[in-house]
Each structure stands twice: as C-alpha cells, then as structure tokens.
C-alpha cells in the first residue's frame, strides 16, 4: 500500500521483519541461494564452497555491560558463519561515524573489535569509513561482512534439515544480552550485574562438529530470541517442535528483569548462544561437547522436533500443559544489536 512506512518493528526480527522480507526484498532479490534464508549464504565457486554473511549494528547504548558495539559486530559475524558450519576466514568492517563522536570512544570500540577478532582467530582484512553531519546518525553504526571455509567431508547444517525425532539443544542461558541492554537504558539495578552474553562461538561450534558427524540445523537466536529462531526453523523444515519451559536455562536476575518489564525471555535477543538440532542418537555427544567448552557449560537439551503441527512450536509449561510459542509480533527491544 502507498501509505505504508517503515516502523522500528520491521527491524526486530519478528513478524514485521518477515513481512518486509517477503513483500520487498525477496521479490526483487530472490534467487536459490537467498531463498535458504540462513544466517550465512553458501556460495559455490570453482574451488568448492564458502560461507558468506553480512550484518549491520546500530545498538543503543553503544557501550554496555559485557561489551560494546565493536565487540558485538565481530561476535555477530563470527556466529553467523559458525551457524553455517563454517570456519571464519576474514572479516570486513565499515563505519558510519557521526560528527562529534569522541576519539576515545572510537578507540575503545576499535580495540574491542581487534581483541574479539583475535580471540576468534579471524583477521579484519578490509573496511571503509564515512562521517555524516551531527544529527544525521546516532554516534556510530558498523557494518561487517564475513567469509568462512566449509567442510567438504560432511553434510552442512541448513534451516530446512530439521527432522521429526531430532533433539533441540540450546548452548546456554537466554535473554542475557537483551536484558543487559534494556536494564542499562532504564537504569535498573539488580543484586548481580546483568551482562551481555556477547561472545564469538566458532571454537565452541567446532568442538561440537568434531563430536557429531551430522548437525541438521544451527542458528544463533539474536533478534526475536529463541522463539523467533524455532518458529523460523519449524517453518522452513516443515515440521513441528516442542520445547520444555523448565529445561530452558535463564539466569535468575534476568528472569526477574523480564518479569519486571513484562517481557518473555524467549523473545529476547542473545549474542553468545547457539541453537542446535541434531539426530536423537547424537544428542548426548553434542551436549557433552558443548558443556566441555566454557561458553557451553550451561547447555541443555530443551525439546524435540515433531511431525506436526507443521510450522508450529509448542512450549510445555511447568503445569504440564502446552501453549503455542509464537514469533514476536512487535518490537520488544528496539536497537538491540
């Protein structure tokens, strides 16, 4: 419709984001690679296959408990490559700076990017910088692109490979990142500091891939949280899913913050967690590999893939009843990444 406009909700990773993708981008850009809608595209070339991903970061505030926009940019790119089963090879970084940004703030952000890239074992090899007039942006926006090598001796995880009977595994506690950002914005204080889970997951994922020969799906539950990722995978794989509320790890202070703000932790963004869907017979090996890594010590099997209802995710509550776990409808936490 001619009177439609872009809303914050279109960037939240929920229903509005899906509508924007289906209504605007896919009709113009549509191709078989893009249609996979994975965290990273798998590109075939004469020498084999590579994973390719890009992301933009507009988070507010740009410095937060557990990190800053620079650390977040590297983690987000590394994790999208890892979700495709790739080993990161190189990253680009492009900056849009607003006139008036203090030099020392930029130095901290760039230093965090360098440290995080070194931790992930991936170099930043090219980039770009633009400066816009004061008031034309909000301090700093960062765009990153990453490429990664893919194994040739095994099936690759993909959004459409979940199979009835598969186990659904979560690598750790959810909602830490989103609640760290929201409590910072609102000035809320809790007995224990709530920090972002922002972390590069490539080495943790590599440990799981070494232990499990065929991981069906991997996704990092960022915008829209765990609920959005599970619904997307259920829809693309044409399966159902059932997860158990009691088995989904949430830090106590994060749970309190969510209750105080009226937010479902399953809808909150994460920046250092991975959802894995593996054959049932591989679940114990995958869980052990995750728990052997510091970033996966709180990993848990949270549910299973079912044959129906297709495209639906159900949550088993503490009372034993089932409720539909929907994709977020609006923008719960704007500018979260």
CA distances from 186 to 7, 9, 59, 141, 316 (A): 22, 20, 15, 22, 32
- Taking the CA atoms of residue 76, residue 77, residue 83 and residue 84 in that order, the dihedral angle to the nearest 10 degrees is 160
Give the span between the Cα atoms of 59 and 127, in whole angstroms.
20
What's the rounded Cα separation, in Å, for the pair 68 and 110?
A: 10
CATH 3.30.1330.10 fits 40-149, yes or no: yes
Q: What is the CATH number of domain 167-324?
A: 3.90.650.10
Reported as a single tens digit per residue, the pLDDT across 246-300 is: 999 999 999 998 998 889 999 999 999 999 999 999 999 999 999 999 999 999 9
Using one digit for the tens of pLDDT, what is the confidence trace for 32-85?
A: 888 887 788 999 888 788 999 999 999 999 999 999 999 999 999 999 999 999
Tell me which DSSP letter residue 61 carries.
S
**Residue 146 parent element (H or E):** strand 140-149
Tokens of 225: 């949280």
Residues of the chain with CATH 3.30.1330.10: 40-149
Q: How many CB atoms lie within 10 A of CB 28?
A: 6
| pLDDT tens readout for residues 125-184 | 999 999 999 999 999 999 999 999 999 889 999 999 999 999 999 999 999 999 999 888
pTM of the model: 0.93
**Residue range(s) in the chain whose domain bears CATH number 3.90.650.10:** 167-324
DSSP for 164-225 reads TT-EEEE-S--SHHHHHHHHHHHT---SS---------HHHHHHHHHH-S---EEE---TTH
């Amino acid at each position: 419709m001619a009177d439609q406009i872009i809303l914050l909700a279109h960037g939240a990773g929920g229903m509005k984001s899906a509508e924007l993708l289906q209504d605007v981008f896919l009709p113009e850009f549509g191709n078989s690679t893009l249609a996979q809608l994975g965290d990273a595209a798998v590109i075939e070339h004469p020498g084999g296959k590579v994973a390719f991903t890009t992301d933009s970061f507009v988070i507010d505030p740009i410095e937060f408990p557990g990190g800053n926009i620079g650390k977040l940019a590297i983690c987000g790119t590394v994790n999208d490559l890892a979700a495709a089963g790739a080993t990161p090879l190189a990253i680009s970084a492009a900056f849009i700076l607003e006139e008036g940004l203090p030099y020392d703030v930029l130095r901290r952000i760039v230093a965090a990017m360098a440290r995080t890239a070194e931790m992930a074992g991936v170099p930043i090899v090219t980039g770009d910088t633009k400066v816009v007039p004061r008031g034309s942006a909000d301090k700093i926006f960062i765009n990153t692109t990453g490429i990664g090598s893919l194994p040739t001796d095994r099936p690759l995880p993909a959004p459409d490979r979940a199979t009835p009977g598969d186990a659904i595994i979560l690598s750790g506690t959810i909602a830490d990142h989103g609640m760290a950002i929201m409590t910072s914005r609102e000035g809320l204080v809790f007995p224990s500091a709530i920090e972002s889970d922002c972390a590069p997951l490539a080495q943790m994922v590599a440990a799981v891939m070494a232990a499990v020969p065929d991981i069906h799906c991997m996704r990092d539950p960022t915008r829209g949280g765990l609920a959005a990722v599970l619904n997307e995978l259920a829809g693309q794989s044409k399966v159902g899913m059932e997860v158990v509320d009691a088995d989904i790890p949430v830090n106590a202070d994060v749970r309190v913050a969510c209750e105080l703000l009226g937010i479902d932790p399953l809808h909150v963004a994460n920046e250092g967690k991975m959802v894995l869907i593996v054959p049932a017979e591989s679940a114990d090996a995958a869980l052990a590999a995750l728990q052997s890594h510091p970033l996966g010590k709180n990993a848990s099997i949270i549910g299973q893939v079912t044959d129906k209802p297709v495209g639906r995710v159900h949550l088993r509550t503490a009372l034993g009843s089932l409720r539909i776990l929907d994709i977020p409808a609006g923008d719960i936490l704007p500018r979260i990444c």
